Amino acid sequence: MSDKSTEFFEKFQDKIAKIIKKPKRIYFNIKNEDLREISDYLFNTMGCRLSICTATEVYDGLEVLYHFSDDTTGIYYNPRVKTGLENPEINSITPLIEGANWIEREMYDLFGIKFKGHPDLKKLLTINNPHFSEDDHPMRFNRNRTKEK
Amino acid sequence: MSKCRIPLGPFHPLLEEAEFFDIKVEGEKVVDIEMETGWMHRGHEKISETRSYTQSIFLVERICGICSTSHPFAAVHAMEDIDNVEIPERAQYIRIFIGEMERIHSHLLWLGLAGHFIGYDTLWMWTWKYREPVLQIFEKVSGNRNHYAMFRVGGVGRDFDNALIPEIHPVLDMLEKKMLMLAGAVKDDPVLWSRLKGVGVLTKEDAINYCANGPTARASGVDIDVRRDDGLEYDLINFDVIVLPNGDVYDKLVLRVLEIIESVKIARQCLDAFPKVGGEYLNKVKHISPGEGIGRYEAPRGEVFHYIRSDGSNRPLRHKVRAPSFSNIPTYKASCVGIPLADALITLAAVDPCYCCTERSIRVIDEDNKKLEHNLLTMSREKTANLKKVVAGSEKTPIDRIFED
């Protein structure tokens, strides 16, 4: 692992849990309130690029995995934030990183995760689709199905 | 001056994916642009959860018709990342060869369409003529002109026939010669220069902030290339990453011409390696362990990203797909504002979103409620025609001179 990576894990060692290290891929859990600070450090100080985020529904809630790519070393930093199944809410990082705008809208659309602080949180993919109502999030297992007219 | 709203889409003259652009103009100048997507949402991620891993590879190949091999490339990388599967060396060369030939045909397609949109139809006809032999190579190598179905977890599904090497070398020689000629013509042509230089500039700061990738970022001076950064197969090959500083449409065009020449060099290295590297081309993987894997590949348009989460069964628990245009299309907000509407067309095209042959006119209602119909393509071409008169006068363009020689 590079110096930058060691420095990062030393700086945030109290805020990071459950680190899984694989060649060029690092997954770790963080809390929702630390997300902005850690994203800011990864994006602005370390010069990582936000590749994309992945939302997944697991048995005890929803989790969002952020994929930060360090293009100088090829290492992926993947902070994971968890939230509950009822009224899922996560802090938005769009005010920090403009590139997170669309993916946060997509995750709101497909999973119903509300991103606190997003400047314009509306559906991205099913916005014009008459088969999906506003509270129908199609990637959820117990989705609130839109009734056929 | 009052603002006017011009709806462009959902069936857009440039995009294969139906997208809606809400362009606000003051006179001729674009002052704001909003984008809406979703007409092409097919739910690939959800479908993939119901398919086995091998079926998923074929499924993701259908996401894009032009860069069809980049999604399987990234998907098998993600599946191999879970277990760190070893790939036979011959399979690695076959993968690189397919990937680079695809980059050549995709960039040639873009070059042709870019020429077509600015009314430079000579460029269009030439580049598409050079693209045809590349597709014929694909037919010989894989059996298909598109959707090659070469990729499997642990290698490739079909061996490369070494007897084809003498047939492919002349095509690569021709491509390199023509691309050098084109690079020269693009550099010398006063019309292309004045039509594309300084148009639709995406600054380096914006490219980083919007997390742009691929040629869009590299033309703005951001030095990223997944082939070099992620390594894997491409560690076997020597190649340069081309980075240009200005971020305008001209640099994006030059960058793609230079990348084709670079891809020809990579393809040649593969052809040289095929007779030396024999043996297996598929390391049969029977089972994928529980875990998560990230795979990515530098598609012609940028970084394709796949994330796969496995629970040990034969199907992915979660399969996240991110195509490069998802990151690159939002950069229109930075690059389109402040430019004339006639230039907006080529700026929208410069990111190389997937194209469609559909052409549609736009309708603007003026103050007297009369309908004014303009065809964006016509507007863009008129501008080039006027420029030709102003810049070239009666003089011959460099391309005319090459014809005479």
Q: The pTM is what? A: 0.85
Most A-contacting residue of B211, B225, B292 (CB-CB within 10 A), to test interface: B211
Q: Do residue B327 and residue A138 have CB atoms under 8 angstroms apart?
A: no
Q: Do residue B230 and residue A74 have CB atoms under 8 angstroms apart?
A: yes
Helix (H, G, I), strand (E, B) or coil at B221: coil
Predicted confidence at residue A68, as pLDDT, reads 92
What are the residue ranges spanned by the domains of chain A? 3-87
Nearest CB to B229 within list A52, A71, A101: A71
- Is the confidence metric ipTM above 0.90 for this complex? yes
Most B-contacting residue of A97, A109, A128, A141 (CB-CB within 10 A), to test interface: A128
Contacts of B17 in chain A (CB under 8 A): none
CA B36 – CA B364 distance, rounded (Å): 19
Would you say residue B59 has pLDDT above 50?
Answer: yes
Contacts of A69 in chain B (CB under 8 A): 229
Predicted confidence at residue A27, as pLDDT, reads 92
Q: What is the DSSP string of chain A?
A: --HHHHHHHHHTTTT-EEEEEETTEEEEEE-GGGHHHHHHIIIIIS--EEEEEEEEEETTEEEEEEEEEETTTTEEEEEEEEE-SSS-EEE--TTT-GGGHHHHHHHHHHH--EEET-TT---SSSTT-TTS-TT--TTSTT--PPPP-
Q: Do residue A127 and residue B213 have CB atoms under 8 angstroms apart?
A: no
Pairs of residues, one from chain A and one from chain B, whose beta carbons lie less than 8 Å apart? 84
Contacts of B309 in chain A (CB under 8 A): 56
Contacts of A128 in chain B (CB under 8 A): 10, 20, 36, 38-39
Q: Do residue A98 and residue B41 have CB atoms under 8 angstroms apart?
A: no
Question: How far are the Cα atoms of B253, B372, B381 from residue B378, in angstroms, in the given order?
Answer: 21, 14, 5
Predicted confidence at residue B365, as pLDDT, reads 46
Nearest CB to A54 within list B224, B307, B327: B307
* 3 state SS for B51-96: CCHHHHHHHHHCCCCCCCCHHHHHHHHHHHHHHCCCCCHHHHHHHH
| CATH number of this structure's domain A3-87, picked from the four choices 3.40.1650.10, 3.30.460.80, 3.10.28.10, 3.40.640.10 | 3.30.460.80
Contacts of B210 in chain A (CB under 8 A): 98-99
Predicted confidence at residue B97, as pLDDT, reads 92
pLDDT in tens, B162-204: 898 998 999 999 988 988 888 887 777 787 788 888 888 888 9
Confidence of residue B290 (pLDDT cuts 50, 70, 90): very high
Predicted confidence at residue B344, as pLDDT, reads 79
Nearest CB to A52 within list B84, B210, B322: B322
Contacts of B292 in chain A (CB under 8 A): 27
Predicted confidence at residue B94, as pLDDT, reads 92
B56 within 8 A of B377, measured Cβ to Cβ = no
Q: Do residue B322 and residue A24 have CB atoms under 8 angstroms apart?
A: no
CA A117 – CA A100 distance, rounded (Å): 12
Residue B378: phi and psi, rounded to 5, are -65, -45
Most A-contacting residue of B224, B235, B294, B309 (CB-CB within 10 A), to test interface: B294
Confidence of residue B395 (pLDDT cuts 50, 70, 90): low
Of the listed ranges A23-37, B190-204, B233-247, the one predicted with least confidence: B190-204
Structure tokens at B156: 């490739």
Would you say residue A128 has pLDDT above 70?
Answer: yes
Helix (H, G, I), strand (E, B) or coil at B272: helix
Contacts of A74 in chain B (CB under 8 A): 229-231
pLDDT in tens, B121-162: 888 888 889 989 999 898 988 888 888 888 999 889 888 888
Residue range(s) of every CATH 1.10.645.10 domain in chain B: 45-327
Of the listed ranges A126-135, B253-262, B264-273, the one predicted with least confidence: A126-135
Contacts of A19 in chain B (CB under 8 A): none
Mean pLDDT of the B305-320 span? 90
Predicted confidence at residue B357, as pLDDT, reads 23
Whether chain B has a CB inside 8 Å of the CB on A101: the answer is yes
CA distance A73 to chain B (A): 7
Q: Specify the higher pLDDT residue, B254 or B186.
A: B254
Most B-contacting residue of A44, A51, A107 (CB-CB within 10 A), to test interface: A51
Would you say residue A7 has pLDDT above 80?
Answer: yes
Whether chain B has a CB inside 8 Å of the CB on A46: the answer is no
| CATH number of this structure's domain B45-327, picked from the four choices 1.20.140.10, 3.40.50.40, 3.40.605.10, 1.10.645.10 | 1.10.645.10
Predicted confidence at residue A149, as pLDDT, reads 55
Of the listed ranges A107-116, B214-223, B264-273, B349-358, the one predicted with least confidence: B349-358
Q: Do residue A124 and residue B39 have CB atoms under 8 angstroms apart?
A: no
CA A12 – CA A40 distance, rounded (Å): 12
Whether chain B has a CB inside 8 Å of the CB on A127: the answer is yes
Residue B103, Cβ density class (10 Å: 0-12 exposed, 13-18 middle, ≥19 buried): buried
Confidence of residue B63 (pLDDT cuts 50, 70, 90): confident
Whether chain B has a CB inside 8 Å of the CB on A103: the answer is yes
Q: In this structure, what DSSP letter does residue B398 have? A: H
Please state the separation of Cα B110 from the chain's center in Å: 7
Q: Where are the alpha helices (DSSP H) in B274-393?
A: 324-328, 332-335, 341-350, 376-387
